[in-house]
């Protein structure tokens, strides 16, 4: 009888092990599919921004030889490069903190993860506040006052909306991580959040060059 029980115990352990292996295989397959879907989503966003950037460059090179264009007979002032540079450093710094948050989670350092991701959320919020401040003080004719103003507010506004969505997404991820939704081996949501945040950093590099340096 003891031998029979032992065999049943081994069989039960084997079934449980097979079940765990099966679940892990399913998770890896679905993870790859979700990652592919998320990457395709980011690519579609790149296409969207590229279309608007192309339209901006077309207008800049065909409408008027002077840029920024004239408004009511006066030359529009250049944007505040120094302020935008500081605000950009805040956003790029948030990319660094998000990287360290992801690394901390991989190494099961929950306290460090919480600190880094909350730092990312704070920096992202500060960037949005800086952008709002710039919107209120930019003397470029508003949304419909000039081609330059329309282009600037449209492209940076799209980016700002993406940053806002990212901040909300990171708050959700922080809450989920502390509720046990993820562990050290299953954390696709955090991976997606990190990719998204680096995406908004890269897009801002292009916009900063177009509107402030070019």
Strand partners, 71: 74
pLDDT band at 204 (very low <50, low <70, confident <90, very high): very high
Region 192-209: mean pLDDT is 96
pLDDT at 8: 42
Region 180-190: mean pLDDT is 86
Res. 5: pLDDT tops 70: no
Res. 91: pLDDT tops 70: yes
Average pLDDT value for the chain = 84
pLDDT at 172: 96
* Beta pairing, strands 74-75 & 70-71: antiparallel
**CATH numbers and ranges of domains, the chain:** 37-213 (1.20.120.80)
Question: For the segment 140-159, what is each residue's pLDDT rounded down to a tens digit?
Answer: 766 666 788 888 999 999 99
H or E segment at 53? helix 2-62
CB atoms within 10 A of CB 98: 27
Q: What is the pTM of this model?
A: 0.83
Which of the 8 DSSP states describes residue 213?
A: I
pLDDT at 140: 73
**Is 28:34 a contact under the CB 8 Å cutoff?**
no
Length of the chain: 214
What residues contact residue 35 under an 8 Å CB cut-off, 6+ apart?
188, 191, 192
Res. 47: pLDDT tops 60: yes
pLDDT at 9: 46
Question: For the segment 105-135, what is each residue's pLDDT rounded down to a tens digit?
Answer: 999 999 999 999 999 999 999 999 999 999 9
Task: Please indicate whether residue 53 or residue 19 has the higher confidence score (pLDDT).
Answer: 53
For 22-57, b where at least 16 C-beta lie within 10 A, e where not — what string? eeeeeeeeeeeeeeeeeeeebeebeeebeeebeebe
pLDDT at 29: 55
* Calpha distance 18→2 (Å, rounded): 24
């Amino acid at each position: 009888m003891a031998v029979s029980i032992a065999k049943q115990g081994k069989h039960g352990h084997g079934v449980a092990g097979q079940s765990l292996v099966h679940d892990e295989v399913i998770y890896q397959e679905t993870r790859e599919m979700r990652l592919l879907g998320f990457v395709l989503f980011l690519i579609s966003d790149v296409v969207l921004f590229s279309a608007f950037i192309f339209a901006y460059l077309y207008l800049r090179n065909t409408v008027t030889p002077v840029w920024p264009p004239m408004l009511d007979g006066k030359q529009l002032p250049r944007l505040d490069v120094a302020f935008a540079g500081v605000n950009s450093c805040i956003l790029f710094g948030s990319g660094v903190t998000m990287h360290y948050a992801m690394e901390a989670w991989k190494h099961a350092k929950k306290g460090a993860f919480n600190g880094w991701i909350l730092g990312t959320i704070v920096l992202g919020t500060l960037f949005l506040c800086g952008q709002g401040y710039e919107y209120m003080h930019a003397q470029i004719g508003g949304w419909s006052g000039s081609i330059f103003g329309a282009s600037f507010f449209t492209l940076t506004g799209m980016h700002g909306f993406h940053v806002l969505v990212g901040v909300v997404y990171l708050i959700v991820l922080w809450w989920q991580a502390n509720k046990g939704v993820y562990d050290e081996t299953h954390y696709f949501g955090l991976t997606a959040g990190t990719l998204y945040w680096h995406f908004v950093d890269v897009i801002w590099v292009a916009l900063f060059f177009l509107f402030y340096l070019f």
